A and B are shown apart, each in its own frame.
Chain A
Amino acid sequence: MTAHVITSPRFKDNAHEAMLSPPLQKAMGNVERNFIERRAQAAANLPEFEALRDAARDIKTHTLKHLDLYLEAYEKKVVEAGGHVHWAADADAANKIILDICRKAGAETVTKGKSMISEEIGLNAYLEANGVTPVETDLGEYIIQLRGEAPSHIIAPAVHVNKEEVEAEFRRVHTHLDPKRDLSEPTSLLAEARGELRQKFLAADVGITGANFLIAETGTSVIVTNEGNGDLTQILPRVHVVIASLEKITPTLEDASQILRVLARSATGQEMSVYTTFSTGPRRPGDPDGPEEYHVVLLDNGRTAMLGTEFEDMLRCIRCGACMNHCPVYHAIGGHAYGWVYPGPMGAVLTPTLIGVDKGGHLPNASTFCGRCESVCPMRIPLPKLMRHWREREFERHLQPQTVRWGLKTWVFFATRPALYRLATRLAMGTLGRLGRAAGRFKSLPLAGGWTKYRDMPAPEGGTFQAEWAKRRRAA
């Protein structure tokens, strides 16, 4: 069972619908305005920022090359601290392990801190189907859980929802509250969620969080939040479960500190998120609070298969969201169009790995290759290059429509014969230039219907790019 129905195969329709939705377009404007400016400020305020990106990349690269040994070291330290490590090869296995822990704890409700891995494995739907009620406690996750949606952004899951929609949802669900209450301002919505969720935190039997880092040196899991919900999730219930994928392993506290310096700055433009919490094992003798049991579920779900391939670089990803915040395609269509849980450039690379290129193959095509994602990625992941790798695989596996294959083959025929290419383009540009001279544009063109359906094609002025370039070089 998966919580989130995968609609990635109909990406083009999704994108088309998204572009016709005025509320979504307004919400995406918020992303473009806020995140880019804030990150730029934060980066500019730390002279060492670029060098820290190199350091962060090198730490992860080293860790991935020695992942087997760091996993063993990490497990040993968790056990020493009194915790349990569970290994899950795939989503099903992880869900079963977590349900089993919940059942042994006699859990009726579990609170949850924000976890993309939980979204990936469809944990909420699985728990619900098995009689355990999961309650998302991050405000954005709470909103989308009420709406029955997948996140549309990896750090701002409800970024597509406007405040009127939040109000409507709260009125629909919080029926025990005064129907005449004023919820017109974000502050009143936040206060209401705080009140509702406070009760859930105190009543929960099990708390489930993700992890930003798993530290091998000490067997520590680290969460980074602004709301404090992750902490209330993990200190109040009797049992704390951490669900994390295995590439979250980081050698030392110092290494995690290096990466922390680029994480919040890249994500929200904060220098540091409000709460960075390092948890090691269960409650100690004499401790007046904290969980009595501490479990870590280590998930593979296709990640070991990326090691040693061109996609290994993707395992450096720290889920900051900078790539989507800077992506013109994401700005235009939002996160849901990508059709699963990971949107934007990182989703375009990761999704085909996790659900298969047959289902996720459209996503790597949703790029202008402008390169902004790579230019802001704190871990220097070559996202455009990885998207190109997917395009190649998609081509090799004959997954594109026949017309696309013919088009590409035709282009290759000319591109590998430069003289013929120059001749053909000169003839085409000359002809189009003459035909379009009067109107200056074409309303329709053979073989370019995809373009001219939505916009006119400007008429060429007569010369090819190569000819113009050669002319300039001669003049210079």
Chain B
Amino acid sequence: MSTVRDAMIARVRRNLGVSGTDVTRRAAVADRLARAPAGLVPARGQLDPDARVALFIAKAEGVQATTERVAAAAEIPAAVAAYLRRHNLPQRVRTGDDPRLAALDWSVGAGLDVTRGPSDGSDLVCVSHAVAGVAETGTLVLTSGPDNPTTLNFLPDVHMVVVDAGTIGGDYETVWRDLRSRLGKGVMPRTVNFVTGPSRSADIEQTLLLGAHGPRSLHVIVVG
């Protein structure tokens, strides 16, 4: 294709003293890409489901997220409305087309105004549904698409994220395994966001401040 490209790859081969047709090298690379070996996974997240959820919550709170746990999805609208009241915020949220969120009866929140679609930056509070949680660091995993537009993760002041307890895994490797089984090997959503706490910066005199460019608050609702 491009001669610059070929020259760069040729330089790599020349300096490594290797050839591009070496069968052993090709096999080593093909094997690693095909198997994607897991490597060393910390013991910390390897727990039974209850302990895993407890670790996830503790880790998320350790990085200044707030959390609450509800018994069933039906309780989400009331939890959202109560959070907004507690923080003196208008009863208005933006969400995507996530079917799990769309199926809920949002009228329980007495006048909770729910709009759908990506954010243009004017939404104070957005609600997303995570595909998974990772216990080892209290990390949320969100994927892009009409269900959960990526702009909802970054533009609001307050980001509320719903995660099913059953999708909270011990480690990042679990996330990749699940994505592969859903989408196929080597296929990724346009964007996968790992979110660990609300936005922050320590760029002024090393003072840690929350709410740099992304959400100032991250509230996690664990369901089940």
Q: Which residues on A are within 8 Å of B, measured CB to CB?
A: 27, 30-31, 34, 46-48, 51-52, 55, 59, 62, 65-73, 75, 77, 81, 85, 87-89, 93, 137-140, 143, 156-159, 162-163, 166, 186-187, 189-191, 194, 197-198, 201-202, 216-220, 226-229, 231-232, 235-236, 246, 251-255, 257-258, 260-261, 268, 270-284, 286-290, 298, 300, 304-309
The reply on B104 being an interface residue by CB < 8 A is no
Given contacts A48-B43, A139-B201, A166-B204, contact A290 B150 (CB under 8 A): yes
**Secondary structure dominating the interface of B:** loop
Which B99-136 residues sit within 8 Å CB-CB of chain A?
117-118, 120-121, 136
Given contacts A159-B206, A280-B189, A286-B145, contact A55 B39 (CB under 8 A): yes
Q: Mark B3-38, 1 if CB is under 8 A from A, else 0.
A: 011011101110111101000011011001100111
Number of A-B contacts (CB under 8 A): 266
Q: How many residues of B contact A (CB 8 A)?
A: 79
Q: List residues of chain A with CB within 8 A of the CB of B28.
A: 62, 66
Q: State which of A226, A274, A278, A309 has its C-beta within 8 Å of the C-beta of B192.
A: A278
Q: Are A87 and B139 also in contact (CB < 8 A) when A140-B203, A272-B196 are?
A: no
A48: contacting residue among B8, B42, B206, CB under 8 A: B42
Given contacts A218-B187, A253-B36, A279-B190, are A66 and B146 in contact (CB under 8 A)?
no
Assuming the contacts A52-B40, A235-B150, A282-B190, asked whether A138 and B214 have C-beta atoms less than 8 A apart, the reply is no
Complex CA–CA separation, A89 to B10 (angstroms): 12
A67-B16, A186-B207, A271-B137 provided; 15 other pairs, C-beta below 8 A? A30-B205, A52-B42, A55-B40, A67-B12, A68-B20, A71-B8, A226-B199, A226-B212, A271-B59, A271-B136, A272-B196, A278-B194, A298-B8, A304-B11, A304-B15
**Beta-carbon contact of B151 and A236 below 8 Å:** yes
Contact of A300 among B8, B150, B195, B204 (CB under 8 A): B8
Interchain CB contact (< 8 A) of B186 among A70, A139, A218: A218
- Chain A residue, CB-CB nearest to B214: A228
Contacts A252-B32, A279-B191, A290-B190 given: A268-B202 contact, CB under 8 Å? Answer: yes
Q: How far is the CA of A154 from the CA of B138 in the complex (A)?
A: 27
Least distance between B219 CB and chain A CB atoms (Å): 15
Residues in chain A near residue B199, CB distance under 8 A: 226-228, 274-275
CA distance A231 to B118 in the complex (A): 15
Which chain A residues border B176 with CB–CB below 8 Å? 253-254, 257
* A228 to B172 CA separation, bound complex (whole angstroms): 20
Across the A-B interface, the 6 shortest Cβ-Cβ residue pairs: A228-B214, A227-B212, A140-B203, A276-B194, A307-B15, A252-B36
State A270–B7 Cα separation when bound (angstroms): 40
- In whole angstroms, how far apart are the Cα atoms of A219 and B144 in the complex? 17
Contact indicator A51/B153 (Cβ below 8 Å): no
Write the chain B residue with the least CB distance to A256: B172
CB <8 Å contact, A300 and B11: yes
Complex interface residues of chain B between 167 and 193 (CB less than 8 A to chain A)? 171-173, 176, 186-193
What chain A residues lie within 8 Å of B85 (beta carbons)?
Answer: none
Q: Is the pair A228, B213 in contact by a Cβ cutoff of 8 Å?
A: yes
Residues on the B chain within 8 Å of A308, using CB: 15-17
Closest approach, in angstroms, between the C-beta of B214 and any C-beta of chain A? 3
Greatest chain B CB density within 10 A among A66, A228, A276, A277 is at: A228
| Residues of the B chain whose Cβ atoms lie less than 8 Å from the Cβ of A31 | 206
User: Taking the nearest CB of chain B, how far is it from the CB of A201, in angstroms?
Assistant: 8
Residues B145-163 near A (CB distance < 8 A): 145-146, 149-151, 153-155
Chain B residues, Cβ within 8 Å of A166: 204
Cα distance A231–B28 in the bound complex, in angstroms: 34
Chain B proximity of A272: nearest CB distance (Å): 4
| B42 in contact with A261 (CB, 8 Å) | yes
What's the nearest-Cβ distance from chain B to residue A33, in Å?
8
| B213 proximity list for chain A (CB < 8 A) | 137, 194, 197-198, 201, 227-229, 232
Asked if B191 contacts A71 (CB within 8 A), the reply is no
CA distance A201 to B154 in the complex (A): 12
- Which chain B residue has the least Cβ–Cβ distance from A308? B15
B194 to chain A, nearest CB (A): 4
Do B200 and A287 touch across chains, with their CB atoms under 8 A apart? no
Residues of the B chain whose Cβ atoms lie less than 8 Å from the Cβ of A157 = 203
B88 at the binding interface (Cβ < 8 Å) = no
- The listed residue with most B CB atoms (<10 A of its CB), out of A202, A253, A260, is A253
Give the complex CA separation of A92 and B156 in angstroms: 39
C-alpha gap A264/B38 in the complex (Å) = 20
Cβ–Cβ contact A272 & B149, under 8 A: no
Residue of A nearest to B197 (CB): A274
A139 to B199, CA, bound (A): 12
Judging by beta carbons under 8 Å apart, are A287 and B192 in contact?
Answer: no
- 21 chain-A/chain-B pairs, Cβ below 8 angstroms: A31-B206, A47-B43, A71-B9, A77-B186, A89-B4, A156-B202, A159-B203, A163-B205, A186-B205, A217-B36, A227-B200, A228-B215, A232-B154, A232-B214, A235-B154, A252-B33, A271-B136, A274-B63, A275-B194, A279-B191, A284-B144
Q: Which residues of A contact B155 (CB under 8 A)?
A: 232
A139 engages B212 (CB within 8 Å): yes
Shortest CB-to-CB span from B34 to chain A, Å, is: 9
B51 within 8 A of A: no
Q: Determine the residue in chain A with the shortest Cβ distance to B7.
A: A89
* Chain B residue contacts of A48, Cβ below 8 A: 40, 42-43
B224, chain A: closest CB distance, angstroms: 24
Instruction: Let me know if A289 and B211 touch, CB within 8 A.
Output: no
CB distance from B147 to the nearest CB of A (A): 10
